[in-house]
Amino acid sequence: MVKIARMYHERGLRQAEIADELHVSQPRVSRLLKRAADVGIVRTTVSEPAGVFTELESALEATYGLAEAVVVDVAEDADEVRALGSAAAAYLETTLIGGDAIGISSWSATLLATVDAMRPFSQQVVSSIVQLVGGVGDPRVQLDATHLLTQFARATGAEPIFLPAPGLLGSTAARESLMADAAVAGVASRWPGLSMALVGIGALEPSPLLARSGNAMADADQATLRDVGAVGDVCLRFFDADGRLVPTDFDTRVVGIAPDTLRGIPRRVAVAGGSRKAAAIRGALRGGWVNVLITDVSTARALVADA
């Protein structure tokens, strides 16, 4: 048994060659190789190279019930947004195999980095890319929201579906009126049929991109959200530390996908990291807002340590 194991694993001989050399049958060689593994003569080990964190990814998945976690190493002097975007692009290039209808959130620097890092597929792998939250705002920044969809569509062959509305309105009545508009309602009708959502996770304090977009909340809204325990958002839907949607009128003024519809999408991929967003990411995972997370190693370790 040991001789056969050495011939197979160390010398690299095929089972038929071993059988000929030892004058035994090939089925016997196969049985002895299996038995060598069963009794511990042969042991399989996997060496994890530097910069790969499969154990940490498994710990994240087990801790938060994720379908998948991707952890990327970010050097101290590196651009974290760019590193996360590259990791997300690699994930998408591997997992987009055709037939997906994808929703994407606006005003995310990491998602902009993701689409810029994506290489074009040789064939269509996504049927449509649909905006999940309003993208109309300051013209200088609105270009980013438009670029997000057009660049993703160009790489994947998808049809881009834009939501012709701002992300946040001044009143519930204004939001209800706009959602009844035929153009907006047509986009909203696509949300329940999505197979995947690609989102960022925001902290309570607006990101620089969102702050410049014209869709950021007023100081009074931010104070109200803080008072009721909000720690972060996905698609402008704010939740507390346990991932529960916080009860404020802010939520009734958002022009975008409803919380239950968002969490009903089968694959919900978030690209987010950094200590500033740790509480928001933890809340998003606890509340089931996302079930695939692409993050940096420092954030992943903090999430596992303080689940």
For residue 43, the tally of other CB atoms under 10 A from its CB is: 7
Q: Average pLDDT of the chain?
A: 90
Does residue 212 register a pLDDT over 80? no
Work out the percent of the chain whose per-residue pLDDT is above 90: 73
Q: What band does 299 get if pLDDT is binned at 50, 70 and 90? A: very high
pLDDT digits (tens, 9 = 90+) for 45-66: 776 666 789 999 999 999 999 9
Strands, E assignment, 113-263: 126-131, 159-161, 196-199, 202-203, 230-234, 237-240
Model pLDDT, residue 228: 93
Does residue 115 register a pLDDT over 60? yes
3-state DSSP assignment of residue 303: helix
3-state DSSP assignment of residue 26: helix
Q: What band does 106 get if pLDDT is binned at 50, 70 and 90? A: confident
The arithmetic mean of pLDDT across residues 236-264, rounded, is 94
Phi, psi of 161 (to 5 degrees): -120, 110
Model pLDDT, residue 76: 65
Smallest CA-to-CA distance from 105 within 125, 134, 144, 147 is with 134
- Report residue 262 as tokens: 């968002």
Model pLDDT, residue 140: 58
Work out the percent of the chain whose per-residue pLDDT is above 70: 91
Model pLDDT, residue 184: 95
Q: What band does 109 get if pLDDT is binned at 50, 70 and 90? A: confident
Model pLDDT, residue 286: 97
Does residue 149 register a pLDDT over 90? yes
Question: What does the alpha-carbon distance between residue 74 and residue 65 come to, in Å, rounded to a whole number?
Answer: 24
Cβ partners under 8 Å of residue 115, min gap 6? 85, 89, 147, 148, 151, 152, 155
Name the region of 243 (left: φ>0; alpha: ψ -120 to 50; beta: rest): left
Cβ atoms of residues 154 and 174 within 8 Å? no
Question: What does the alpha-carbon distance between residue 119 and residue 53 come to, in Å, rounded to a whole number?
Answer: 24
Model pLDDT, residue 135: 76
Residue type (1 letter), 110 = T
Say which residue, 135 or 189, is predicted with more confidence: 189
pTM, two decimals, is 0.83
Question: What does the alpha-carbon distance between residue 101 and residue 161 come to, in Å, rounded to a whole number?
Answer: 11
Model pLDDT, residue 207: 65
Does residue 137 register a pLDDT over 70? no
The domains found in the chain, sorted by start residue, are 2-38 (no CATH), 54-305 (3.40.50.1360)
Model pLDDT, residue 13: 94
